[in-house]
Amino acid sequence: MKLKRTRYASAAALTAFILMQINADAFEPTQKTEDIIESIGVCTHWDYPNSPYGFAYSEAKNRLEEVGVRYIRDRFTIRTVELFEDLGVKSTVTMLPDMDSYLNKIRNNPEAVVAVEGLNETDEDPNSGFPQATRIAQADLYNAIKLNLSTHHLPVIAPSIAYRLNNNILAPLDYFDYSVMHSYASGGLPSSVDPFMESANKVLGSNVYLKPVVATECGYHTAFGRVESQPPGVPESVHAKYILRLLCEYFNRGITRTHLYEFIDSYEHSRNGNVSEANYGLLRYDLSRKPAFNALRNFITLLEDENSNFRPQALDVNIQSDSPSIHYTILQKSVSVRASTAFLDSL
Task: Give tens-digit pLDDT for 112-123.
Answer: 999 999 999 999
pLDDT at 12 over 50: no
Query: Given a cut of 80, is residue 214 above it in pLDDT?
Result: yes
The predicted model gives 41-70 an average pLDDT of: 98
Give the residue, 325 or 296, on which the prediction is more confident: 296
Of 107-116, 174-183, 195-204, 336-345, which gets the smallest average pLDDT? 336-345
Is residue 75 helix, strand or coil? coil
Chosen CATH of 32-313 out of 3.40.50.2000, 3.30.70.890, 2.40.50.140, 3.20.20.80: 3.20.20.80
Which tops the pLDDT comparison, 226 or 309? 309
Give the amino acid at 230: Q
DSSP string computed for 273-319: T--GGG---SB-TT-PBPHHHHHHHHHHHHH--S---S-PPPEEEE-
- Angle between helix axes 57-67 and 291-303 (nearest 10 degrees) is 50
Per-residue pLDDT band for 8 (boundaries 50, 70, 90) equals very low
State whether residue 59 is helix, strand or coil: helix
Q: Is the pLDDT of residue 147 over 90?
A: yes
Question: When comparing pLDDT for 224 and 97, which is higher?
Answer: 97
Where residue 26 falls among pLDDT bands split at 50, 70, 90? low
- Asked if pLDDT for residue 88 goes beyond 60, the answer is yes
Task: Give the whole-angstrom CA distance, residue 106 versus residue 277.
Answer: 29
Q: What is the pLDDT of residue 44?
A: 99
Three-class secondary structure of residue 17 per DSSP: helix
What percent of the chain lies above the pLDDT cut of 70? Answer: 86
Radius of gyration of the chain (CA): 20
The neighbour count for residue 201, using CB atoms within 10 Å, is: 19
The helix (H) or strand (E) run that includes residue 33 is helix 33-38
Residues 135 and 170 sit within 8 Å (Cβ to Cβ): yes
Higher pLDDT, 173 or 16: 173
pLDDT surpassing 60 at residue 124: yes
Which element (helix H / strand E) includes 81? Answer: helix 78-87
Contact 40, 216 (CB under 8 A): no
> Which residues are registered as beta bridge partners of 342?
328
Can you tell me the mean pLDDT for 317-326?
A: 74
> Integer distance in angstroms from the first to the last C-alpha of the chain?
43
Confidence band (pLDDT; 50, 70, 90) for 294?
very high
3-state SS, residue 141:
helix
What is the rounded average pLDDT of the residues 206-215? 94
pLDDT above 90 (res 29): no
- Side by side, the strands of the sheet bearing 338-344 are 31-32, 326-332, 338-344
Report the mean per-residue pLDDT for the chain.
87
The average pLDDT across 200-214 equals: 94
